[in-house]
Amino acid sequence: MVEDRASNAGNSILILDQTRLPQVAVQVRLNTVDDVAHAIRSMQVRGAPLIGVTAAYGVALGLKHDASDSQLAQVVDMLAATRPTAVNLHWALARMQRVLQKFPQGCNALALGTRREVAWHEARAIAAEDVATNVAIGEHGLRILTMHKPKDAVLQIMTHCNAGRLATVAHGTALAPVYAAHAAGIPVHVWVSETRPRNQGLLTAWELAEAGVPHTLIADNAAGLLIMQGKVDLLIVGADRIAANGDTANKIGTYLKALAAQAHGVPFYVAAPLSTIDFSCPTGYAICIEERAAAELGAGDVPVVNPAFDITPAHLITGILSENGVVSVEELAQWKS
């Protein structure tokens, strides 16, 4: 994401349209909060951390001409309604609202200008923190990967969906340790699950290819066989929301991989920033699962159910990796601030 920075308060942001990738890399300019809401809803931008950052910029754009409390509330409500599961969206909106409400709304140019500048400043801070967070996730994750590296063999990693740099401002979450291992000269190979129906696995394959990381695309249903055949040393996935007990919402299909991993004694890690942990949500059952349009399955008039995420129960998760380090699900509470 690039910001068109004319002054302390910006005018627009540029995003890479992920609905066009990997075929073509097309940038789209977002000028208004409506543009941002559309980009999130249509998955031009996707991935929990990137959705959060984009929504923060959406708030800034929404206050361009009116920075009153009522406009702020309207903008936040509109953005919050775009996608329900990724908690980073709601976390970023709450943070923007909290910070902006410290500044008087006023009705003069000075008050408008101040709130606008504060909004842009905070959105930039959220974006910059995402980069630093993912670097830290990469460093902590590198220790995990090193620990599981078989002697004299390539480390075989499996991932699902896209939790790489495209889903964040930079580096990614689940892929950050992979990039760190590759940079450290540790031989790795990534099994990339296609991730129907939106094929985010193709985005993962695209960015791994760009980074020169060896990888192989598989159909989602091939994962169980590869795990059973001993071709996977560990799995690492991102998350859209982690409940207080460690139950994790992530892209549909994650749960089946975790079941197969447990059945064959293969470690299953979740990598996510602390902003993905929702301590107000006691278990995965309380997480709202987004239901997306039937058209995404391309099945014509056939009745369709299309949940975008599933819940991996905490007991299937070996460890949760964040910018703070790695903990077991039982230890997750120590990260509650």
Give the annotated binding-site residues: 46-48, 83, 200, 250-251
Residue placing its CB nearer to ligand MRU in the complex, 9 or 249: 249
Q: How far is the CB of 57 from ligand MRU (least distance, A)?
A: 17
x/- site string to ligand MRU, residues 199 to 218, per CB under 6 A? Answer: -x------------------
Q: Does 49 bind ligand MRU (CB under 6 A)?
A: yes
Distance in angstroms (rounded) separating the CA atoms of residues 329 and 287: 17
Strands 268-271 and 234-237 come out as: parallel
Q: Confirm whether 77 is a catalytic residue.
A: no
Minimum Å gap between C-beta 238 and ligand MRU is 3
Q: Tell me: does residue 277 bind ligand MRU (CB under 6 A).
A: no
286 vs 289: CA distance, rounded Å: 9
Q: Closest distance between ligand MRU and the C-beta of residue 18, in Å?
A: 8
Nearer to ligand MRU, 64 or 251 (CB): 251
Is 149 a binding residue for ligand MRU by CB under 6 A? The answer is: no
- Applying the rule CB under 6 A, the residues between 299 and 318 that interact with ligand MRU are 308
Q: Using an 8 Å Cβ cutoff, are 191 and 232 in contact?
A: yes
Taking CB under 6 A as the criterion, the residue among 1, 21, 44, 47 binding ligand MRU is 47
**Residue 100-139 contact track with ligand MRU, rule CB under 6 A, x = bound:** ----------------------------------------
CA distance 164 to 237: 10
Contact between 158 and 223 (Cβ < 8 Å): yes
> 22 near 206, Cβ under 8 Å?
yes
> Which residue lies nearer to ligand MRU by CB, 64 or 83?
83
Active-site position among 240, 247, 278, 310? 240
Residues that bind ligand MRU (CB under 6 A): 46-49, 86, 161, 163, 167-168, 173, 200, 238-240, 250-251, 308
